[in-house]
Amino acid sequence: MPGDDSPVMAVRRLVLKIGSALLVDQATGTLHRTWLDGLAEDIATARRRGQEVAVVTSGAVALGRCLLGLEGRRLKMGEKQAAAAAGQIALVHAYREGLVVHGIPAAQVLLTLDDSENRHRYLNARNTFETLFRLGVVSIINENDTVATQELRFGDNDRLAARVAEMIDADAVVLFSDIDGLYTAGPVPPLMDRAVWRPN
């Protein structure tokens, strides 16, 4: 998490987006357990400060590939959906194990693009999130890849995190990634400026 002097430390409600590369070893398909346990500790610290935290996580497909023996090749849509289904169980179980050490319950929430665009489903999801916050639960959120198709999907979990943040009225979104920075404009010359945040 950012340092104690970061403005993020003062927000009330926070969405953390976790990239696959931080969670799963791309060579072996195994979970970076130590990293995840450290994240759980950071979440516990945020909670003690009075912050509410929701987590948007990637990694289900990467974990599922290994579990189903699908490493080393491009997956067909059905295989990717199967890998997501198998990997999601392992992923949420790992988050739960990391959080329960700190006395924090976890809940799985799987969303589709339609859930955020259909008003009735949007309100149902928002009400569920509010109830989970009230009960002291950390939501572990991912796209429901088993039913999402190429045409009807968020595309990446950065977009999902932004949509969830809007849905739950979050004060900030923190993107955890192995990427060094973010473009401040489209990656087309001459607009190649990058905003890079580097921890102290």
Tell me the average pLDDT across 128-140.
98
pTM score, whole prediction: 0.85
- Which helix or strand (DSSP H or E) is residue 17 part of? strand 13-18
Range of the domain at 125: 11-195
Would residue 200 count as lying in a domain? no
Question: How many domains is the chain partitioned into structurally?
Answer: 1
Would residue 120 count as lying in a domain? yes
Question: For the chain, what is the mean pLDDT?
Answer: 86
Would residue 58 count as lying in a domain? yes
Residue with the larger pLDDT of the pair 18 and 147: 18
CATH code for position 120: 3.40.1160.10
Give me the percent of the chain exceeding a pLDDT of 70.
81
Let me know: does 43 contact 101? Beta carbons within 8 Å: no
Measured distance CA(35)–CA(43) in Å, rounded: 12
Instruction: Report pLDDT for 187.
Output: 58
Would residue 87 count as lying in a domain? yes
Instruction: Report pLDDT for 198.
Output: 46
Question: Please, what's the largest Cα pairwise distance for the chain?
Answer: 50
Per DSSP, helices labelled H in 24-135 are 33-48, 60-67, 77-100, 113-117, 119-134
Tell me the average pLDDT across 24-34.
90
Would residue 74 count as lying in a domain? yes
Would residue 1 count as lying in a domain? no
Instruction: Report pLDDT for 178.
Output: 72
Would residue 137 count as lying in a domain? yes
Residue with the larger pLDDT of the pair 48 and 199: 48
Would residue 5 count as lying in a domain? no
Tell me the average pLDDT across 37-66.
95
Instruction: Report pLDDT for 200.
Output: 39
The helix-helix angle for 119-134 and 157-168 (nearest 10°) equals 70
